[in-house]
Structure 1
Amino acid sequence: MEFCDECGSMMKAEDGLWVCGSCGYEKPKDPEAEYVLTEDQEASEVIETGDGEDSGLPTTDAQCPECGNDRAHWYMQQIRAADESETRFFVCTECEHKWREDDH
């Protein structure tokens, strides 16, 4: 099992790469390592925003860096040490582009 260096989410294997389903970060698989993959390990825990405002996630005013839309769904996740602040994740309500904001 591999975890994303960027957001801490579980990564899935795709064509010799580990790919994060949350932020899209990719890294090559170690060719020397032996992996046992099952369907349960390949399932990702992606937050689905769905269509419209029924995502269950709150919305806020946030400028999408991809399409310029001014509304986004948001959620917070602790991805660093417990004594550091949480990271805010945004999902555009128009194009569903995902980005993050932290206090660095």
Structure 2
Amino acid sequence: MEFCDECGSMMKAEDDLWVCGSCGNKQPKDPDASFVVTEGQEETEIVDVSDAQDRGLPTTEVVCPNCENDRAHWYMQQIRSADESETRFFICTECEHRWREDDN
């Protein structure tokens, strides 16, 4: 997500540009950034969680649904609109299975 340098409004992605819906300002997208687009949602940056332990992610006691290990690294990410709470993601310390808190 980008914000306009001219008026501070949220910009929308159009091809290789960020376009401000309020003032019409256009900025080129950063070619080094990675994004995921899902239907009905805004673009979000991909969180690189490879080598979670080396990146200093905190751990907690939670049971992995894949291997039943009782420890996992975790991080929070805003994936819905700003008025919704963040989602907590887990990475098993044993098998590196990934899941989010609301998965059942």
- Are the aligned partners of 1:49 and 1:57 in contact in 2 as well (CA < 8 Å)? no
Report the AA paired with residue 74 of structure 1: W
Aligned to 2:61: 61
Aligned to 1:18: none
Report the AA paired with residue 88 of structure 1: R
**SS state of the match for residue 72, structure 2?**
strand
CA-based RMSD of the aligned residues comes to 2.5
Q: Gaps (5+ residues) in structure 2? A: 1-34
* TM-score, scaled to structure 1: 0.53
Aligned to 2:98: 98
Aligned to 1:48: 50
Larger radius of gyration: 2
**How far does the alpha carbon of each residue in 1:29-61 deviate from its partner, in whole angstroms, 9 at most, with x for none?**
xxxxxxxxxxxxxxx6531135xx434100000
Aligned to 1:20: none
Q: Where in structure 1 do 4 or more consecutive aligned residues deviate above 2 Å?
A: none
CA distance change for structure 1 residues 4 and 97 in 2, over 3 Å: closer, same or farther? farther
**SS state of the match for residue 74, structure 1?**
strand
* TM-score, scaled to structure 2: 0.53
CA distance change for structure 1 residues 2 and 91 in 2, over 3 Å: closer, same or farther? closer
Count how many residue pairs are aligned between Structure 1 and Structure 2.
66
Aligned-pair CA distance for 1:76: 0.1
Aligned to 2:37: 3
**SS state of the match for residue 74, structure 2?**
strand
